[in-house]
Homo-oligomer: A and B are copies of this chain.
Amino acid sequence: MYIAMNRFKVLKDCTKDFEHVWFSRESYLHEMPGFIAFHLLKGPEKEDHHLYSSHTAWASYADFEAWTKSEAFRKTHDRAGNNKPMTLGHPEFEGFHVIQEVTPQGGVRRVAAE
Binding site for B on A (CB under 8 A): 1, 3, 19, 22-23, 26-27, 29-31, 35-44, 51, 53, 55, 94-108, 110, 113
Contact = CB atoms under 8 A, between A and B. Distances in A.
A37 B104 contact: yes
B103 A30 contact: yes
Q: Is the interface of A mostly helix, strand, loop or mixed?
A: strand
- Residue from A31, A101, A103 whose CB has the most chain B CB atoms within 10 Å: A103
Contacts of A96: 41-43, 53
- List 10 tightest A-B contacts by C-beta distance, closest first: A41-B96, A38-B102, A40-B100, A30-B106, A43-B96, A42-B97, A27-B102, A39-B98, A42-B99, A27-B108
